[in-house]
């Protein structure tokens, strides 16, 4: 809001001329703020008696007295400060002026708006873009309009994903030391795009801040382009300057490609093949920069049909690595050779008062035209010549004494309150002149203030003018930060000096310059904070739907027609004329006066109806650095510089309750060193493959040196230098870089460390002779790890046991045997011991499966699994904060109401939609297909779907008052009476009736299911009559298909739903389920994992006990002992075996149960097998002339040939050849007809002797149906 500066001038020779009638003027802002000190100014003239003076602000049932005194003097001028109660809410208020003497009475009442305290809020994140799995840190700050901190309460803060789904929320958030700090962990596979943080404030206004989530690689350098903003059609050429610099400030070596285009202006009625005229230039970067003169002749600047602009793209390519970064710019083309503008010009002139202004003459690109002659005309009449100064400006002055035109044409308050006031006496009898006065400019006047000067005319008219000041945006709290040194070495110590007002609480942020290059953001600055201010300027009398314009007191001039020369003339008002009223109104001021300040208006024949005024009724009482710290005037913060060569952009802000807010300028810390090494290599390779290790040595010394670069030998790989051929010893000049390439063949599996050492040598090879830097020993060592993977396909087999003891010892034999085609050195094995069958699942809530997932069905199933485990841990008092935070980390992406927020309205809409799908008989008609078609039941599919929905509604807490449940139960009961033939439907129905408390139906269905159960080796489970053949595994029990596991778990759920469940029978089912668990605690796929974890948690709730056991693993060479007790019941204890084959004995002693799992992992050479699918692969070269091509297309053809009509969801897993960009694709269903798709692959790292890579297709729910082929860059083998 604008500060208003009042100056009342007294011209003494006027006083005699002014009529003796008493005059008054009261100034007050049209918007009165309840939270701050306001000012009103009163001017009384020509009083001939003493008066009692009263000015009162009336609102609600309260009054605030502004003036209350007796005035004895003839002329009175004073300003008074006043405050309105902060409890008042925004509303209409009235100001009443009353001055009363023996014979004099002055009374005037006008409306003003009363507004409660207004605040501004800004938000900041620690960086603008994030990778999956990173932590988003958020700051929120609220200030009042005087930039002092406010302890605000935020009722609701929400986080929305790119599709506007609410994925997290905080309620009733308060601040600490006036700063609210929050954090949010991103999941490992988030939705990519722009996320929104939405802050709801107490005022119900909202604040939105966005950040981006994406996969990215930080750029190493940036490109800046400098071109003229504008050229004229007469220019023959213009210059393009571009520079490429690393983030640590050094220039990039390489080349630049400059592309300059002028685009053709096409239309629907005109077709042309020439869409643009382009020129291309290629030049070497010199000290990181390049300059190019562009001749404009070829671009036909005078020709129409083209856009009047150039589009310029500069692409810099780093030598050695080939990394490219581009930057764009544009140049406008104009036909104007220069322009003259009027500045600082008033809208109206006042006859008799000189009219001032500024002429500004600028050429192209706003270059000032110096010492140029400008000619000024007024209404086609010559006024004078003006010469421009060094800024291209000339000050003009026009005498308006003889101007009688209503208008002429020339050719060629801070923050809404009265801030300063005063008066100046002019003891000069001259009618013309000037005077000056000082104004103290402070931060309180920013960003704009209006100077208002007025005096009185002898006729009783207010004569006034105003001028607007733009004030620098600054704050009272002066904050500065400075690093102890502007440059630092990686890993060294440094400090940051912070200075601010004493007792300030400060927040700092440092961001890697590479992040800002990747994703720019609006920097927190004084400009941005000031832009948040409400009512920086008040315009007019409309404020928040209130019309504060009072009716004019003086009457209009009667309209009388005039007859002249045989014609009647009708007088009208000139709406274009200005007056003092417009100046005051535009400033948002209210004036109480009996002086003239509005131009007269002619009464209209048909007066417009005024806008209705509202009626108000009175009512009774009804990443380097992201930290915050407190500073006692100054502080020194010490920290370790990260081991990254880059530039850290750093700034901060501070707050103090008295002085207020302040912000520092942005400073930088450059992290670099004079001599260092960088290494580029692929993330992983297959054993015996050859890959290139690219080493780049940077020297920013001021002299040349001779260097030796060596890759340290190791038994884990063979390495041969490719370039240069002189064993890595070379002369490197000042500011130069050298690239070395080794061909590496790894021999050992696992992570292999590669060490490169670059150091200077004592030598006289440099022509300039020895210098101090040449005599020093420069050395840098870099170590990077390369993952070496085995050939073939990885296999995992597990053997699991749930062993329960009652004081006796139980032994179990485990035999580890490897197949004949195992890849040498690839086998590894380990034993896992957990005191709870759900221990593995507890530790792997984010990764229960060993296969890809991500569809809606899969995500919901896994999220449900997490809630089942949480419920179990909570009910058995085993839930720790660590486990809970891990679970909520994954739940927050979709939401489970018991643990995270779900919008009730969304749930209601879901129930409405489900109810609309229910038929008159209570059944839900099947529309679509089952995710797992293994249990397709033909005519019974509607019954199965109804059982699913019926059970889900009961689990959601609905009761039988909900109509869909009552009707659904009728459907299921009728179906059971008519007879059900499908065993899977029997199991789901048994569980649904169990949830409904229908014991009779549950018992009947369990008896039917028991007759079809498989009972062997003290375990019970259910199989299908027809299923794919399972691959045989020596000594390991094969995993059951997902459908059979799921059915067995539905039976267990039905057992657990009984009032008196048969725990002995159920324990045999659990024993079999334990054998089906994978090494992550899940099962074969998503559906069986969700159902089985729910079933097991309900069984474990009834059988939970905190007993102790001792588990011993032993073989002929060694043994290992594990203790299980109540303290480590959920701890996953794991022992890696030195030998991945042989016989082991497991002994369990004590009381209670122990879950034991033996896991064997190994690679096998690509098998020539297929079951259920036909898979073929064809490879097409991008360039048939290349023997070893870098780019080619893979075409996969998939056909289902299994026992069913169609497959379920199918995954096609394509493993990339080493050094190539990975690609993975998924198709939803494969039918009996062949499906083909093609994708391209390109080589990103050079690898030789590439080993074949597999492509596998398999059914998501029937993994025994699969097909495998292998491919390579030279050939492809198909099985």
CATH number of the domain encompassing residue 1125 = 2.60.120.1540
pLDDT in tens, 7-38: 555 443 344 444 468 889 998 888 887 777 88
Of residues 888 and 803, more confidence is placed in: 803
Q: Give residue 1014's pLDDT.
A: 92
Residues 1149 and 1191 in one domain: no
pLDDT band at 87 (very low <50, low <70, confident <90, very high): low
- What is residue 308's three-state secondary structure? coil
- 717-723 and 779-789 strand pairing: unpaired
Dihedral angle of Cα 899, 900, 906, 908, to the nearest 10 degrees = 30
Q: Give residue 613's pLDDT.
A: 33
Q: Give residue 314's pLDDT.
A: 95
- What is residue 1003's three-state secondary structure? helix
Q: Give the residue-averaged pLDDT of 51-62.
A: 87
E strand or H helix that includes residue 184: strand 179-185
What DSSP designation does 1169 have? -
Report the 3 state secondary structure along 431-460.
CCCCCCCCCCCCHHHCCEEEEEEEEECCCC
What is the number of helices (H) and of strands (E) in the chain? 16, 74
Rg of the chain (C-alpha set): 42
- 222: phi then psi, degrees, rounded to nearest 5: -125, 155
Q: Give residue 1228's pLDDT.
A: 44
- 818 located within any domain: yes
CATH number of the domain encompassing residue 306 = 2.60.40.1940
Q: Work out the end-to-end distance of the chain between its first and last CA atoms, rounded to an integer number of angstroms.
A: 78
Residues 1261 and 1179 in one domain: yes
Residues 513 and 652 in one domain: yes
pLDDT in tens, 576-598: 667 777 877 877 788 888 888 78
- HSE, side-chain direction, 13 A CA sphere, residue 519: 19
Split into its structural domains, the chain has a count of 7
CA distance 120 to 144: 6
pLDDT at residue 882 is higher than 70: no
Q: Give residue 1226's pLDDT.
A: 34
Cis status of the peptide bond prior to 724, with omega within 30 of 0: yes
- 812 located within any domain: yes
Residues 666 and 693 in one domain: no
Residues 327 and 237 in one domain: yes
Strand partners, 717: 714, 746
CA distance 676 to 56: 76
- 88 located within any domain: yes
Q: Quick one: which of 48, 36, 128 has its CA closest to 84?
A: 36
Signed CA dihedral, 892, 898, 902, 908: sign only: positive
Residues 133 and 78 in one domain: no
Q: Give residue 1167's pLDDT.
A: 65
Of residues 553 and 1024, more confidence is placed in: 1024
pLDDT at residue 768 is higher than 60: no
999-1003's contacts with Cβ under 8 Å and 24+ in sequence apart are 999/1058, 999/1059, 1001/973, 1001/976, 1002/1054, 1002/1057, 1002/1058, 1003/1058
pLDDT band at 550 (very low <50, low <70, confident <90, very high): confident
Q: Give residue 327's pLDDT.
A: 93
Q: Quick one: which of 1117, 1111, 1114, 1163 has its CA closest to 1132?
A: 1111
pLDDT in tens, 113-133: 888 777 888 999 999 999 888
Q: Give residue 930's pLDDT.
A: 64
Residues 160 and 37 in one domain: no
Least confident of 331-345, 909-923, 950-964, 1197-1211: 1197-1211
Average pLDDT, the chain: 79
Max Cα-Cα span within the chain: 134
- 1060 located within any domain: no
Residues 509 and 634 in one domain: yes
CA distances from 177 to 199, 411, 503, 626 (A): 19, 58, 11, 16
Signed CA dihedral, 495, 496, 498, 504: sign only: negative
CATH number of the domain encompassing residue 162 = 2.60.40.1930
Residues 734 and 758 in one domain: yes
pLDDT band at 528 (very low <50, low <70, confident <90, very high): confident
Kindly state the percentage of the chain with pLDDT values over 90: 19
Residue with tokens 């009652």: 806
E strand or H helix that includes residue 886: helix 881-891
Q: Which residues of 17-52 are buried (b: 16+ CB within 10 A; e: fewer)?
A: ebeeebbbbbbbbbbbbbbbebbbbbbbbebeeebe
CATH number of the domain encompassing residue 589 = 2.60.40.10
Q: Which of 213, 234, 265 is the endpoint of a domain? A: 213
Structure tokens at 797: 């087999």
Q: Quick one: which of 691, 688, 680 has its CA closest to 1246?
A: 691
Q: Give residue 403's pLDDT.
A: 60
Residue 880 makes CB contacts below 8 A (sequence gap 6+) with: none
pTM of the model: 0.59
pLDDT at residue 1070 is higher than 80: yes
pLDDT at residue 994 is higher than 90: yes
CATH number of the domain encompassing residue 1212 = 2.60.40.690
Contact between 940 and 985 under an 8 Å Cβ cutoff? The reply is yes
Q: Give the residue-averaged pLDDT of 498-522.
A: 88
pLDDT in tens, 721-766: 887 765 657 888 887 888 888 888 998 888 899 999 988 887 666 7
Structure tokens at 802: 């749930």
Q: Quick one: which of 1071, 1072, 1066, 1040 has its CA closest to 1051?
A: 1066
pLDDT band at 1185 (very low <50, low <70, confident <90, very high): very low
pLDDT at residue 290 is higher than 90: yes
- 819: phi then psi, degrees, rounded to nearest 5: -70, 165
Residues 496 and 632 in one domain: yes
Q: Quick one: which of 760, 722, 872 has its CA closest to 1246?
A: 722
Cis status of the peptide bond prior to 447, with omega within 30 of 0: yes
Residue 1095 makes CB contacts below 8 A (sequence gap 6+) with: 1049, 1050, 1052, 1053, 1056, 1073
Contact between 306 and 300 under an 8 Å Cβ cutoff? The reply is yes
pLDDT in tens, 365-395: 788 888 888 888 777 788 888 888 998 898 8
- Compute how many other C-beta atoms are within 10 angstroms of the C-beta atom of residue 514: 20
Q: Quick one: which of 131, 804, 134, 141 has its CA closest to 528?
A: 141
Q: Quick one: which of 410, 365, 254 has its CA closest to 317?
A: 254
- 996 located within any domain: no
- 1059 located within any domain: no
pLDDT band at 525 (very low <50, low <70, confident <90, very high): confident
For residue 422, with 0-12 CB atoms within 10 Å meaning exposed, 13-18 middle and 19 or more buried, which class applies? Answer: middle
Residues 233 and 133 in one domain: no
Q: Give the residue-averaged pLDDT of 642-659.
A: 87
Q: Which of 272, 301, 334 is the endpoint of a domain? A: 334
Number of residues that make up the chain: 1279
CA distance 173 to 178: 12
- 901 located within any domain: no
pLDDT in tens, 691-701: 888 888 888 88
Q: Give residue 312's pLDDT.
A: 95
pLDDT in tens, 605-632: 444 444 333 333 222 333 555 566 665 6
CA distance 508 to 506: 7
E strand or H helix that includes residue 857: helix 856-875
CA distance 1028 to 1171: 8
CA distance 1046 to 1087: 7
Q: Quick one: which of 341, 355, 334, 338 has its CA closest to 411?
A: 341
Residues 111 and 139 in one domain: no
Q: Which residues span the domain enclosing 1120?
A: 793-835+1107-1164
Q: Which of 646, 671, 696 is the endpoint of a domain? A: 671
pLDDT at residue 1233 is higher than 80: no
Q: Give residue 116's pLDDT.
A: 77
- 912 located within any domain: no
pLDDT in tens, 391-432: 889 888 888 777 655 444 443 444 455 555 556 555 555 556
pLDDT at residue 1096 is higher than 60: yes
């Amino acid at each position: 809001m604008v500060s208003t500066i009042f100056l009342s001038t007294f011209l003494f020779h006027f006083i005699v001329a002014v009529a003796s009638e008493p005059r008054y003027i009261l100034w007050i802002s049209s918007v009165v703020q309840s939270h701050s000190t306001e000012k009103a100014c009163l001017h009384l003239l020509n009083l001939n008696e003493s008066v009692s003076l009263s000015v009162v602000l009336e609102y609600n049932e309260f009054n605030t007295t502004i003036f209350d005194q007796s005035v004895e003097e003839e002329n009175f001028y004073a300003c008074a400060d006043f405050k309105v109660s902060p409890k008042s809410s925004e509303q209409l208020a009235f100001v009443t002026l009353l001055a009363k003497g023996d014979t004099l009475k002055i009374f005037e009442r006008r409306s003003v708006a009363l507004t409660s305290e207004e605040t501004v809020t800004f938000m900041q994140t620690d960086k603008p873009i994030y990778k999956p799995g990173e932590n988003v840190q958020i700051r929120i700050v609220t200030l009042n309009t005087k930039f002092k901190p406010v302890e605000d309460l935020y009722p609701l803060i929400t986080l929305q994903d790119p599709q506007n789904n609410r994925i997290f929320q905080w309620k009733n958030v308060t601040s600490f030391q006036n700063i609210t700090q929050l954090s949010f962990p991103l999941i490992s596979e988030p939705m990519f795009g722009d996320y929104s943080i939405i802050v709801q404030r107490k005022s119900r206004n909202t604040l939105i801040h966005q950040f981006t989530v994406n996969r990215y690689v930080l750029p190493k350098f940036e490109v800046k382009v400098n071109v003229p903003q504008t050229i004229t059609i007469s220019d023959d050429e213009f210059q393009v300057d571009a520079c490429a610099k690393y983030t640590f400030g050094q220039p990039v070596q390489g080349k630049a490609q400059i592309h300059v285009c002028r685009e053709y202006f096409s239309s629907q009625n005109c077709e042309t093949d020439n869409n643009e005229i382009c020129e291309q230039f290629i030049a070497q970067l010199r000290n990181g920069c390049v300059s190019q003169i562009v001749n404009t002749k070829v671009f036909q600047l005078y020709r129409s049909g083209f856009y009047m602009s150039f589009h310029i793209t500069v692409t810099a390519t780093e030598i050695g690595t080939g990394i490219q970064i581009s930057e764009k710019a544009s140049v406008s083309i104009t036909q104007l050779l220069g322009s003259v503008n009027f500045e600082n010009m008033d809208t109206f002139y006042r006859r008799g008062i000189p009219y001032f202004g500024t002429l500004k003459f600028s050429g192209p690109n706003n270059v000032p035209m110096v010492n140029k002659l400008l000619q000024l005309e007024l209404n086609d009449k010559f006024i004078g010549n003006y010469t421009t100064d060094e800024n291209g400006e000339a000050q003009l002055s026009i005498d308006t004494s003889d101007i009688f035109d209503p208008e002429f044409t020339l050719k060629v308050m801070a923050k809404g309150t009265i801030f300063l006031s005063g008066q100046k006496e002019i003891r000069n009898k001259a009618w013309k002149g000037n005077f000056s006065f000082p104004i103290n400019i402070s931060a309180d006047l920013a960003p704009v203030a209006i100077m208002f000067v007025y005096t009185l005319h002898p006729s009783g008219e207010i004569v006034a003018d105003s001028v607007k000041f733009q004030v620098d945006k600054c704050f009272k709290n002066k904050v500065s930060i400075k690093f102890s040194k502007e440059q630092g070495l990686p890993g060294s110590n440094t400090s940051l000096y912070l200075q601010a007002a004493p007792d300030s609480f400060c927040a700092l942020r440092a961001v890697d310059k590479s992040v800002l290059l990747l994703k720019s953001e609006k920097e927190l600055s004084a400009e941005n904070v000031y832009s948040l201010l409400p009512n920086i300027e008040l315009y007019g009398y409309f404020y928040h739907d209130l019309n504060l314009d009072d009716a004019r007191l003086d009457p209009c001039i009667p309209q009388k027609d005039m007859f002249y020369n045989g014609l009647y003339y009708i007088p009208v008002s000139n709406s274009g004329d200005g007056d003092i009223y417009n100046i005051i109104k535009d400033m948002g001021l209210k004036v109480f006066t009996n002086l003239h300040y509005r131009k007269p208006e002619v009464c209209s024949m048909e007066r417009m109806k005024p806008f209705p005024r509202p009626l108000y009724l009175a009512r009774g009482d009804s990443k380097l650095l992201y930290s915050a710290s407190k500073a006692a005037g100054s502080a020194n913060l010490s920290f370790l510089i990260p081991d990254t060569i880059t530039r850290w952009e750093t700034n901060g802000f501070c707050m103090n309750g008295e002085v207020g807010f302040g912000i520092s300028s942005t400073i930088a810390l450059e992290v670099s060193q004079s001599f260092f090494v960088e290494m580029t290599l692929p993330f992983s390779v297959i054993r015996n493959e050859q890959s290139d290790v690219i080493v780049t040595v940077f020297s920013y010394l001021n002299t040349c040196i001779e260097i030796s670069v060596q890759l340290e030998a190791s038994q884990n790989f063979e390495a041969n230098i490719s370039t240069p051929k002189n064993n890595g010893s070379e002369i490197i000049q000042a500011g130069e870089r050298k690239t070395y390439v080794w061909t590496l063949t790894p021999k050992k599996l696992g992570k292999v460390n590669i060490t490169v050492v670059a150091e200077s040598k004592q030598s006289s090879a440099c022509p300039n002779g020895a210098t101090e830097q040449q005599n020093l020993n420069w050395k840098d060592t870099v170590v990077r790890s390369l993952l070496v993977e085995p050939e073939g396909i990885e296999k995992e087999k597990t053997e699991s046991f749930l062993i329960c003891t009652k004081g006796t010892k139980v032994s179990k034999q485990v035999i580890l045997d490897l197949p004949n085609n195992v890849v040498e050195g690839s086998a590894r094995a380990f034993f896992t011991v957990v005191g709870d069958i759900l221990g593995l699942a507890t530790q792997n809530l984010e990764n229960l499966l060993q296969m890809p997932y991500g569809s809606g069905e899969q995500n919901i199933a896994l999220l449900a699994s997490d809630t089942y485990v949480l419920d179990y841990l909570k009910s058995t008092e085993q839930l720790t904060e660590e486990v809970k935070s891990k679970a909520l980390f994954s739940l927050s992406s979709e939401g489970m109401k018991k643990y995270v927020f779900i919008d009730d309205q969304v749930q209601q809409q879901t129930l409405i939609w489900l109810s609309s799908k229910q038929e008159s008989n209570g059944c839900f008609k099947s529309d679509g297909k089952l995710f797992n078609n293994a249990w397709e039941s033909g005519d019974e599919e509607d019954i199965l779907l109804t059982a699913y929905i019926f059970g889900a509604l009961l689990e959601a807490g609905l009761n039988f008052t909900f109509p869909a449940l009552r009707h659904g139960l009728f459907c299921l009961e009728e179906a059971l009476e008519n007879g059900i033939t499908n065993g899977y439907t029997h199991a789901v129905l048994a569980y649904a009736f169990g949830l409904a408390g229908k014991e009779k139906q549950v018992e009947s269905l369990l008896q039917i299911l028991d007759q079809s159960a498989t009972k062997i080796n003290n375990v019970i489970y259910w199989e299908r009559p027809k299923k794919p053949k399972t691959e045989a595994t020596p000594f390991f029990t094969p995993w059951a298909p997902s459908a059979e596991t799921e059915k067995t778990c539905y039976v267990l759920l039905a057992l657990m739903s009984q009032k008196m469940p048969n725990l002995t029978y159920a324990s045999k089912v659990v024993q079999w389920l334990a054998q089906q668990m994978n090494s992550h605690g899940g099962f074969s796929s998503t559906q069986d994992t969700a159902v089985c974890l729910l079933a097991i948690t309900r069984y474990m709730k009834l059988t939970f006990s905190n007993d102790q056991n001792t588990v011993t693993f032993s073989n002929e060479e060694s043994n290992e002992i594990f203790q299980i007790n109540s303290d480590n019941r959920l701890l996953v204890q794991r022992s890696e075996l030195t030998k991945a084959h042989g016989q082991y004995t497991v002994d369990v002693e004590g009381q209670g149960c122990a879950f034991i799992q033996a896991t064997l992992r190994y690679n096998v050479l690509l098998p020539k097998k297929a079951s259920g699918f036909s898979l073929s692969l064809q490879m097409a070269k991008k360039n048939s002339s290349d023997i070893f091509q870098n780019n080619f297309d893979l075409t996969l053809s998939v056909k289902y040939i299994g026992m069913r009509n169609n497959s379920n969801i199918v995954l096609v897993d394509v493993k990339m050849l080493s050094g190539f960009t990975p690609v993975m694709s998924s198709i939803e269903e494969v039918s009996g007809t062949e499906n083909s798709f093609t994708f391209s692959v390109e080589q990103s790292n050079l690898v030789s002797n590439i080993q074949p890579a597999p492509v596998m297709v398999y059914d998501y729910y029937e993994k025994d149906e699969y097909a495998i082929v292998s491919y390579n860059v030279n050939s492809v083998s198909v099985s």
